[in-house]
């Protein structure tokens, strides 16, 4: 766990104790580690795919923020960048 806490603090310049889940993948993208802090200690979860790989978001930033829903999609093998929603609409009154 310490090997994941260090890059959160030093490379990402983030607080590993904040209310967030930090996700890391290996080079082959067939493993994801999730790190988060809860009350008195860190949780570390690992998911390994036997034949497929995770579709990591293609962004230029080193740190990517995802919603809870987007993280779930990533873990289920959905390409987060390919998902498009209808835009949020604001109406003055119903027709």
The confidence band for 58, taking pLDDT boundaries of 50, 70 and 90, is: confident
How much of the chain exceeds pLDDT 70, in percent?
A: 99
Edge-first strand listing for the sheet containing 22-25: 22-25, 31-38, 41-48
For 24, phi and psi rounded to 5 degrees?
-135, 145
The token pair that represents 4 in the structure block: 């994941």
Domain ranges of the chain: 2-82
Judged against a pLDDT cut of 80, whether residue 95 lies above it is answered with: no
pTM score, two decimals?
0.79
């Amino acid at each position: 766990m310490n090997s994941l806490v260090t890059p959160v603090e030093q490379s990402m310049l983030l607080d590993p104790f904040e209310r967030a889940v930090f996700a890391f993948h290996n080079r082959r993208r067939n493993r994801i580690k999730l790190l988060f802090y809860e009350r008195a200690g860190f949780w570390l979860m690992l998911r390994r795919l036997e034949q497929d790989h995770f579709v990591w978001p293609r962004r230029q930033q080193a740190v990517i923020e995802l919603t809870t829903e987007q993280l779930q999609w990533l873990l289920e093998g959905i390409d987060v960048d390919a998902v498009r929603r209808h835009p949020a609409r604001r109406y003055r009154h119903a027709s």
